[in-house]
Structure 1
Amino acid sequence: MKYPLLSLVCISLLSACGSDIVVLAPDGPQTITFDFDTGKQGWQAAYSDYPTDNADIYELSSGILSLPDDTTHNGFFMSGMNRSDDLFMYLKARFTGFEPLTRYTANVDMTIYSNAGDDCFGVGGAPGSSVYLKFGYAETEPKQDDYYLNVDKGNQSNGGANANVIGDMVIEGLPCEGTEFSSKTIKTTEENQLEFTSAADGSIWFFIGTDSGYEGRTDVYYDKISITVQPAI
C-alpha cells in the first residue's frame, strides 16, 4: 500500500526556522520521510543514562556526515563509548498539527548503517545483538533528567510505556573488528508500533535511538526515516 508523502514545513520562530515539524491532521495513513541530505530537518541528537559530570570519557559525538559507502548522500551520525553499560543515544523531533487529545498509531521504516557483525564478542554484551533500537514518543520533550531519560523507554532489551524495541544493530556478514559499515532496513510491525495520544496543543515528540548493553563504542548512521501516522481504530 502506498501512502501520501507529507511535506516538511518549518515553523517560523524569532524570524528563524524552528525545529517543529508540521503535519496535516491525518484522517488516514500519512507518511513523513527524512533523508538528511539537506541537514537535520528538525531532528536533534541527545543522550541519557550516563553521568553528565564525567561526559568526556563517553566520547559523545553527532552530526550530519556523508554515508560510509556513498559520499553523495548524508546521514545523521551518532557515536558514544558505553562506559555506563546503559548508554542511550537518540534522535528526537517535535511534530505538530495533530488533532488535540486524539489517539493515533505510528510506524517507522528506516535505514541505518552499522559496523556490528553477528555472533561477535564484546564486554557486557555483543556490539550488535546487545544494542537495541527503540522507537518512542513523549508529550513533552524527552531529555535526560538527572541520570535517566524523563520518559519510560524501558531498559536495553525491554521496552517501556513510551518506547518499543524494534530491532538491533546486527548486520550479518560484517567482520567483528568493526572496520566495515553496511546498511539494514528496520520496520515496525503491528506488534511493536506505537500508540499515543496527542497533547492538548496537537503535538507529540518522537524519538529513535540505541539502548546499549555493550560496554564499547557504538557508531550508527541514520540514513532515511519514514514515520507513518494514522488515527487509531
Structure 2
Amino acid sequence: MKKWISGAGLLLALTMWACNDEGLDAISTIDSSFETDFDGWEPGFAEYSTKTDTSSLARRVGRPRLPFGLDTSQYAFMIQSNNHSDDIFMYLKKKVTGFKPNETYSVVFDIDLATNAAAGSVGSGGSPASSVYVKAGASLREPATRLQGTEYTFTLDKGQQSQSGADGIVLGDLSNGTKDTTYVLVKRTNADKPFMIKANASGAIWFYVGTDSGFEGLTKLYYNRIRITAREENIQ
C-alpha cells in the first residue's frame, strides 16, 4: 500500500498500490514544497562556540520566493549563516508519525535546492561549493542543538563534513554546476544508497536535512522541495 504521510501523523486520503517482483510493498511519501507554509519543518544551527559573537553568524530563516533567475512564483525554505567556526551545521528537522511500529524502512531523500556556489570556487577555509556538504538522515531521537562545554553540538551522529555518520549520509556538495555565482536549482539524492531506519513503538521517525560547512563565509540556500520516500523492508 502506498500512502502519503505528513507531520503529526496526518494521513491523507489518497491510497494506492505499488508492486515489485516480490509482491506488494508499503511505501510512505513525505513531500514538502513550502508553497503555503513550512510544512512542519523546523530550522536549527549547531557546531559553533559560546565564544562566538552570534550576531556575526548572520543566521536567518524564512519562506521567500526563489531568487531571481529561477521560477520566482515558487516558494522555498531559505536558511543562511556565516561560518566563522569553519564547521557550522545548519539544518531542518521534522517529526513524522503514522509508520508501522517497530518496522524497518529504507529511506530515500530527494532534495531540490537553489545554490549560488560556483563549481571550482575557492574561499577562506575551503570552497563555498565543494567544501559544503549536503546531508540527510533519520533517527528515533530528535535532531537538536545541545551545549557541551563551550560548544553547541548536534545531538545526532551525522559524520564530520565529507564523512557520513550512523544517523546521516552525505548526498553531495553545494556546487551549482556552473562557473557563475548565480542561483541554480540542483537535486541531491541518495537513491543509489537508501538509509535504513526502524520506526519506534509509536510509529514515529525524525528526519533532517542540512549542510555541513568547511567554508568560512556566508552560505545562503533555498530548499525548494524535500521529498522523502520510505519503503517497508519487513526485516525480522
Distance 1:66 1:52 in 2: 33
Matching of residues 1-233 of structure 1 within 5 Å: 6=4, 8=6, 20-23=8-11, 27-52=25-50, 54-68=53-67, 69-146=70-147, 147-175=152-180, 178=181, 180-191=182-193, 193-232=194-233
The amino acid that maps onto 2:66 is L
Distance 1:219 1:5, change over 3 A: farther
Match of 1:14 in 2: none
Distance 1:75 1:109, change over 3 A: same
**Deviation of 1:46 (Å):** 0.7
Distance 1:103 1:5 in 2: 16
Distance 2:64 2:174 in 1: 19
Other structure's SS at 2:73 match: strand
Distance 1:197 1:232 in 2: 10
**Deviation of 1:5 (Å):** 6.3
Name structure 1 gaps, 5 residues minimum.
9-18
Name structure 2 gaps, 5 residues minimum.
18-24
User: CA-to-partner distance for each residue in 1:13-37, whole Å, 9 max, x for gaps?
Assistant: xxxxxx625358x952232211101
The amino acid that maps onto 2:10 is V
User: CA-to-partner distance for each residue in 1:93-139, whole Å, 9 max, x for gaps?
Assistant: 00001111221111011210000011111111100011000011121
Q: Calculate the TM-score normalised by the size of structure 2.
A: 0.85
CA contact (8 A) 1:65 1:74 kept: yes
User: CA-to-partner distance for each residue in 1:154-208, whole Å, 9 max, x for gaps?
Assistant: 1100011000001110012242xx4x211111121232x2101111211010000
Distance 1:89 1:151 in 2: 13
Distance 1:209 1:98, change over 3 A: same
CA contact (8 A) 1:48 1:87 kept: yes
The amino acid that maps onto 2:206 is W
Distance 1:51 1:45 in 2: 18
CA contact (8 A) 1:195 1:232 kept: no
**Deviation of 1:61 (Å):** 0.4
The amino acid that maps onto 2:59 is L
CA contact (8 A) 1:23 1:98 kept: no
Structure 1 runs (4+) greater than 3 angstroms displaced = 21-24
The amino acid that maps onto 1:155 is Q
Distance 2:9 2:33 in 1: 14
Other structure's SS at 2:209 match: strand
Distance 1:21 1:216, change over 3 A: farther
Which shows bigger deviation, 66-75 or 37-46?
Answer: 66-75
Percent identity, please: 34
Other structure's SS at 2:56 match: helix
